[in-house]
Amino acid sequence: MRLLLVGAFSYPHHQGSQAYFQEQAIALRAAGAEVELLTYGRREDTPPEDPERWRALDGFAHHTLPQEARPRSLRSGPSLAKPRADLALRRTLDDAIASNLSEGASYDAILAHNLEACVISDMRRVKAGQPFTPTIYCVHTLMQNELSAYVKFIKNGDLENDAARSGAFGKRVKRVIDGLGERLDRFVGQRADGWIALTQSSARVMRRHSLAPGATIGPPLPDPRHRFFDDAGEASLPSAPFFLYAGNLDGYQELHLLEAAARRLAARGESVPRIVVASFDPSVLAPERRWAPGIEPRHVTSEAEMQGLTAAARATIVPRRAMGGFPIKLVNGLAHGTPAITFHDREWGLEDGTNVRVADPNRPVEGLAQAITELTEDPGLARSMGEKARARYETAHRPGVTAAQTLGLIEEVRIAARRS
């Protein structure tokens, strides 16, 4: 089976969307598919990636945009440079398809990562005589939850009643943006020839808007226990116990809730548990960032260091409340047998108290503080949840498992496309 994976983002890069894209490509190739990649690529003037990221491009044909069309910023979310990049992505997609046809080959399916890639792939110019190539939408997140997270003046707040703190204007703007996001989700759901949802909420939305074949398939991740990592950074790992947030620092991650929980613990006069905020973004150490008591910022420079932190933590913390996405940081923790503190469980196929600790999303600050305190005081509970977290990884996120599910869905989509 010949597949083209299209990602409307810079690549390679260490953020979650790119990690999912990368590991899906590697898993499908290992399962026997012939896989090519199409992304923005990276600007030559952007900082180099961790050298361990060689896996992102190892042996793959990688179609990219001209240098001048690639966005300079690697951050997620909307930007003025992305519409131009998306137009160039569509032209590059047409060229990749034409190039394959000239060689007597064609793609059996396109796997489109993120909404923009799906729209571009589905609305490409199909010339007379060209074979039809179905587009399968890989739903990284829901636009009805995502878009408003990038509007800086809409405050989510750090107190228990967020809605009460938001200004009336901000709430109206949020409703409008969320409504636009819902329409985008509906539009792309109706257009795609098939879909892969990472979460239960995304699957519900796609089933509501789409008659095409689809499935809920978690993001794959190679077993870190069987991968070689050098020992960079291990000598300087924090002493246990500590809790870990591992990821980018964008506003949609809701790190303000984690900081507020740390302040609440400190205000009680308790011994504040160590909470490490680890990021590949060097601004985590910027002097203007005044982290709350108990927060220890750490600039991570290698995959080995991040994996070491994840394996050593008492628990990882996923403070984002919006539904629709599946944080790669959560899958990393499952693979290492490190439990997580989140605001959702069944959304990701987990169960509160078994393989994850769910903080109360209606009282987010107090909920996080309580969960951190509970796992600080009960290491046995953390170990038990960690063992079951590892079992969940084995059944739902091993690359061989997800690749077989994905290839089965692709075949179902191709059969449905031939019948229509």
- Whether the Cβ atoms of residue 243 and residue 333 lie closer than 8 Å to each other: no
Distance CA 356, CA 14 (A): 25
- Whether the Cβ atoms of residue 406 and residue 28 lie closer than 8 Å to each other: yes
pTM: 0.88
H or E element at residue 63: strand 61-63
Residues 6+ apart with CB under 8 A from 119: 188, 191
Domain residue spans of the chain: 2-220+398-419, 224-396
Q: Which CATH class is domain 224-396?
A: alpha beta
pLDDT at 51: 67
Residues 6+ apart with CB under 8 A from 59: 29
Residues 6+ apart with CB under 8 A from 62: 11, 36, 37, 38, 39, 41
pLDDT at 276: 96
Distance CA 390, CA 412 (A): 30
CA dihedral sign, ordered 284, 11, 93, 20:
negative
Distance CA 339, CA 334 (A): 7
> Which pLDDT tens digits describe the chain residue by residue (420 residues)?
999 999 999 999 888 899 999 999 999 999 999 999 999 999 887 777 776 677 889 999 999 999 999 998 777 767 777 889 999 999 999 999 988 887 878 899 999 999 999 999 987 655 556 778 999 999 999 999 888 776 654 544 444 444 444 567 777 888 898 899 999 999 999 999 999 999 999 999 999 999 999 999 999 999 988 775 655 445 577 877 899 999 999 888 999 999 999 999 988 876 778 999 999 999 999 999 999 988 999 999 888 899 999 999 999 999 999 888 999 999 999 999 999 999 999 999 999 999 999 999 999 999 999 999 999 999 999 999 999 999 999 999 999 999 999 999 999 999 998 887
H or E element at residue 367: helix 364-377
DSSP-derived 3-state class of residue 250: coil
Closest CA to 213 of 355, 395, 419, 3: 419
pLDDT at 251: 81
pLDDT at 49: 73
Opening angle at CA 254, ends 332 and 80, nearest 5 = 95
pLDDT at 315: 97
Q: Which CATH class is domain 2-220+398-419?
A: alpha beta
